[in-house]
Chain A
Amino acid sequence: ETGVTQSPTHLIKTRGQQVTLRCSSQSGHNTVSWYQQALGQGPQFIFQYYREEENGRGNFPPRFSGLQFPNYSSELNVNALELDDSALYLCASSFAGGQQETQYFGPGTRLLVL
């Protein structure tokens, strides 16, 4: 069974640029959630995708957008990068439809915006 994978592991961008982060969900999972973890903080929910549609969104501006593909993998896109976007971005996959939807996390992508 393959766990959640994310790419790239690290990324450096400059303010105003755009970035795409990728996530492959765990085998058998159909839902992907994205979280932002700033230094010294707990993860904050960005949004969740189920059946290729956004299924819940946290308090993040529209320049944070995402996609889910038919194979349940997902992308997180961030436009017009700001310095405060520097963080660890975590992807979590789960199976929607069971009694409970435990989320399993990938290793994260560390984004630095200069």
Chain B
Amino acid sequence: GEDVEQSLFLSVREGDSSVINCTYTDSSSTYLYWYKQEPGAGLQLLTYIFSNMDMKQDQRLTVLLNKKDKHLSLRIADTQTGDSAIYFCAVVRGSTLGRLYFGRGTQLTVWP
């Protein structure tokens, strides 16, 4: 299977919470990242979490990490139409520091 997997699509109504999920295979993954990509643009770093943490909160964003299940999630509170974009999960493996392994991305659509 793929190193990093994400569901491809998520639709939510404006004002609701969005939860984007990611699973990864390598238990030596050290840092785990969330990036946002708007149409025709590069990647914008949203947040990251180190593997010895299980939660990180940054304003509307909450990252949860379950190392046992190799599962990472990104919760966006009070989702706005401007949050519509593709969200990528990316991990750094312990064996190949400096190299990011990306999922295929989750297309988040926010309906007004």
Contact = CB atoms under 8 A, between A and B. Distances in A.
Interface of A: 4, 6, 31, 33, 35, 40-45, 48, 50, 55-56, 58, 90, 92, 94, 96, 100-108
Interface in B36-51: 41-45, 48, 50
A37 B43 CA distance: 11
Given A42-B90, A104-B45, 6 more contacts: A42-B105, A45-B99, A45-B101, A48-B99, A90-B42, A105-B44
B97 A101 contact: yes
19 contacts: A4-B42, A33-B98, A35-B102, A42-B90, A42-B102, A42-B103, A44-B102, A45-B99, A45-B101, A56-B96, A90-B43, A92-B100, A96-B98, A100-B48, A100-B50, A101-B92, A101-B98, A102-B45, A105-B44
